[in-house]
Structure 1
Amino acid sequence: MVSSTASRVDPEAPTRFRYHEAAGVVWGDYVGDTVAEGRFVGTREGDRLRVSFVHALVAGGAVVSGVAESRIEDAGAAGLRLVEDFEVDGRPQVSVCAEVLRT
């Protein structure tokens, strides 16, 4: 994750997501920064992902759940970016994730 309106992103230890896909179904997990452990599942149609998510926070262990919609953007040589719209406590939020290319 490179930015989020829901919380400050630690550039040294950002939340990292692992995505998987088969036949339009997507799933994965995430951990880091403010998230102790998280999971998501959903679908991809074209350049849109729609997922349900749940995660436990590092501070206090509170559980956060919701739904999100992301658009996939081609960032050229930098790989892909996901721009995600979601809600936390009824407030609209936006986060941006950038692909980490393996070398």
Structure 2
Amino acid sequence: MLPSLDGLVFAPTARAEHGEVGTATSFAYREEDGRVWASYRGGAIVHGHLVGTRTGDTLDFRYVHLNHDGDTSSGHCVSTLSRLTDGRLRLDESWRWESRPGAGTSTVEEVLPSAH
């Protein structure tokens, strides 16, 4: 099993078709005892939250967010965790809106802290 997501930051590699999260969105993950949650914002997203579980290297969670148009949206996502060749972590996601039609896939990758 790959390491904990606790305290890590992830960002999408691209904006998915039918999605609202894009490369300017940042996800701050927490993890404890098989539970995962994150806050996200940036780009089209004002505030977003996800909450779910982790079994091995698979995450299963629900998400909800508010966009800059004042619309709220929610959905379900299953993600598979892997390690990139440079050592960072990656999540390959399969998601489906529950609040409106649409589904897709996306990828988020770990963002390393800036060197000072």
Please report the TM-score for the alignment, with normalisation by the length of structure 1: 0.87
Q: 1:27 to 1:63 in 2, by over 3 A?
A: same
Q: 1:78 to 1:34 in 2, by over 3 A?
A: farther
Structure 1 residue 66 displacement after superposition:
1.1
Letter in 1 for 2:41: V
Which SS does the other structure have where 2:111 is aligned? Answer: coil
Are 2:106 and 1:95 aligned?
Answer: yes
Q: 1:9 to 1:43 in 2, by over 3 A?
A: closer
Are 2:34 and 1:18 aligned?
Answer: no
Structure 1 residue 79 displacement after superposition:
0.2
Identity among equivalent positions (%) equals 32
Write the distance in 2 (CA, Å) between the matches of 1:10 and 1:29: 15
1:55-66 aligned within 5 A: 55-58=65-68, 60-66=69-75
Q: 1:10 to 1:63 in 2, by over 3 A?
A: closer
Write the distance in 2 (CA, Å) between the matches of 1:37 and 1:80: 23
Unaligned runs of 5+ in 1: none
Structure 1 residue 42 displacement after superposition:
0.3
Structure 1 residue 2 displacement after superposition:
1.1
Write the distance in 1 (CA, Å) between the matches of 2:36 and 2:48: 14
Write the distance in 1 (CA, Å) between the matches of 2:60 and 2:25: 19
Which SS does the other structure have where 2:112 is aligned? Answer: coil
Unaligned runs of 5+ in 2: 1-11
Larger % of strand: which? 1
RMSD across aligned C-alpha pairs, in angstroms?
A: 1.7
1:44-66 C-alpha deviation (Å, 9 max, x unpaired) = 001100011100011x2100001
Matched residue, 2:83: 74
Structure 1 residue 10 displacement after superposition:
5.4
